[in-house]
Amino acid sequence: MKVAEAPEQKVSAYAWYVLVVLLAVYTCNWMDRYVLVILLESIKKDLKLSDTALGFLSGFVFAGIYSLTGIVIAGIADRTSRRTVISVGLAVWSVMTAVSAFALNFFQLAVARFGVALGESACSPAACSLIADYFPVSRRATAFAIYGVGISIGMGLGLSLGGWANDVYGWRAAFLIVGLPGVLLALLVRLSVREPRRGQSESESVGARTYSAREIVRVLLSRKSFLPFAVGLGLFSFSGIAFEIWTPVYLIRGYHMSSAAVGSLTGFTEAFGGLLGTMAGGLIADRLGLKDVRWYLWMPAAAASLMVVSMLVFLHTNGTVMFVFYFLTVMYSASYLAPIVAITQRIMPVRMRAVATAVLYLLLNLIGPGAGPLVTGMLNDHFAQSYGVEAVRVSLAVNLVGTACGVALLLYSARSLLDDLSAARDALPIPAAARAALDS
């Protein structure tokens, strides 16, 4: 059985405006997160840190707080104004990014990154819930892909601006330059984004129903596809984020490039390769999903498989070919998030979408941005005596085991997806005849 879409609804011009604003917020989110990446080598020398400490700082220090506080803040977003949650979070993470400039040791920088993570955890669960209310199911993967482009643009800006500022003014100034503009964007969100009616893009009457913690756990566990594809996404990110965070260090150490040169190169690649991959992932999933909704999981599994191949080629070649496959790796790694976020919205009740997204991001961030950079840093220190500056290359290749396991989990998850979609439709308060029209 396949699942067909309901008749396509018109998307208003204001909905597109909200999406553009949320794209700007998400861009700021990833810019403030990724400026640290291009500064790692300078911070290492200035504060005299090991690679394990850098991996902990760029990974688990951020991801642990981001993931755990995200669940709590998402619960607030499911009950209150999502635009307020986003604007307050944006102001907090922007200020704390700027505060990072004044850190004098590892502990102080870690505390500042805790603050950045706390603020950024308010972003995606609330934003994804808003997008799901502004866009119908047939356009959601595309809408989430446009929102997801913020990852690529933010990475690109963080790497390029951070690399330039680091070479010209030092790593402390870089944090100030990328951090402070977000405060003004927070005001724009609060003043111009309207809170939509919950579920307005779907043919259901949502009402004021909210879910207790026990009910949330019960629903999440009842969707048998959810945990496997959420863990699978985290494993994709385990390899992908480690690659994105440690590649600039690899180029600086192994090829003796300046931070400005690496920032420009990686920033361009992350921005344009990521943009292409993110948009292609959403558009392809929406197109193939009209034929069989399981493509929302099959397509990410295929993209992750291609990422493994391109990353291995990048790590074992030189010259122009090397950077072609760097671009391809970034493109493939950017394409699998939007379809998975979109299908998460479809299998969950309307007033659980922010929390469900937060759980998805909890697993994504603990396994990916949390463990990936940290494990790679530990492997770097372990392999350093045997491989020297090549230790990063060896560590990144070893990490690809995570992606292979993630592909297997997504293929397994797709087997339960149709049943979960049927369960989601059966729970809707709409006439049986209308519900039957959604099936083919």
Q: What is the pLDDT of residue 394?
A: 93
Which stretches does DSSP call E strand in 109-266?
none
pLDDT interval class at 295 (50, 70, 90): very high
Q: What is the mean pLDDT of residues 355-373?
A: 85
- 224-246 residue pLDDT tens: 999 999 999 999 999 998 998 89
Q: What is the SS3 assignment for 3?
A: strand
Number of domains observed in the structure of the chain: 1
Count of residues in the chain? 440
**Euclidean distance between the first and final Cα of the chain, in Å?**
8
- CA-based nearest residue to 26, from 193, 133, 180, 144: 144
Q: What is the mean pLDDT of residues 243-271?
A: 86
Q: What is the pLDDT of residue 28?
A: 95
What is the overall mean pLDDT for the chain? 86
Q: Does residue 294 surpass a pLDDT of 90?
A: yes
Q: What is the pLDDT of residue 315?
A: 93
Q: For residue 295, is it within any domain?
A: yes
% residues pLDDT > 70 (the chain): 91
Q: For residue 204, is it within any domain?
A: no
- CA-based nearest residue to 30, from 143, 158, 130: 158
Domain span holding position 318 = 13-197+213-428
Half-sphere exposure in the Cβ direction for 149 (13 Å, CA)? 19
Q: For residue 37, is it within any domain?
A: yes
Q: For residue 5, is it within any domain?
A: no
Q: For residue 237, is it within any domain?
A: yes
Q: What is the pLDDT of residue 431?
A: 43
Give the bridge partners for 439, in sequence order.
3
Give the bridge partners for 3, in sequence order.
439
Q: What is the SS3 assignment for 440?
A: coil
Q: For residue 127, is it within any domain?
A: yes
Give CA–CA dist 10/222, Å, rounded: 32
373: domain CATH number is 1.20.1250.20
Q: What is the mean pLDDT of residues 258-270?
A: 85
Q: What is the pLDDT of residue 432?
A: 44
Q: What is the pLDDT of residue 6?
A: 46
Q: What is the mean pLDDT of residues 409-429?
A: 83
Q: What is the pLDDT of residue 439?
A: 44
Using alpha carbons only, how large is the chain's radius of gyration in Å? 21
Q: Does residue 161 surpass a pLDDT of 80?
A: yes
Q: What is the mean pLDDT of residues 370-395?
A: 88
Q: Which residues contact 83 (CB under 8 A, 6 or more apart)?
A: 126, 130, 189, 190, 193, 194, 195
Q: What is the mean pLDDT of residues 195-202?
A: 72
Select, from the ranges 239-253, 257-271, 288-302, the one with the highest average predicted confidence (pLDDT): 288-302
- 100-156 residue pLDDT tens: 999 999 999 999 999 999 999 899 888 988 998 888 877 777 888 889 889 889 988
pLDDT interval class at 200 (50, 70, 90): low
- CA-based nearest residue to 79, from 273, 326, 352: 352
pLDDT interval class at 51 (50, 70, 90): confident
Contacts by residues 431-439 (CB-CB < 8 Å, ≥ 24 positions apart):
434/203, 437/6, 438/3, 438/4, 438/6, 439/1, 439/3, 439/4
Give CA–CA dist 149/143, Å, rounded: 10
The interaxial angle of helices 82-99 and 60-77, nearest 10 deg, is 160
Q: What is the pLDDT of residue 178?
A: 93
Q: What is the pLDDT of residue 170?
A: 92
Give the bridge partners for 196, in sequence order.
none
Q: Does residue 300 surpass a pLDDT of 80?
A: yes
| Lowest mean pLDDT across 14-28, 33-47, 393-407 | 33-47
More confident residue, 209 or 83: 83
The H helix count followed by the E strand count for the chain is 19, 0
Q: What is the pLDDT of residue 201?
A: 60
Q: What is the mean pLDDT of residues 397-405?
A: 94
| Lowest mean pLDDT across 243-252, 342-351, 394-403 | 342-351
Q: Does residue 43 surpass a pLDDT of 50?
A: yes
Q: What is the pLDDT of residue 199?
A: 65
**pTM for the predicted model, two decimal places:** 0.72
Q: What is the pLDDT of residue 296?
A: 94
Q: For residue 436, is it within any domain?
A: no
Q: What is the pLDDT of residue 203?
A: 52
Q: What is the pLDDT of residue 202?
A: 60
Q: What is the pLDDT of residue 270?
A: 83
Q: For residue 206, is it within any domain?
A: no
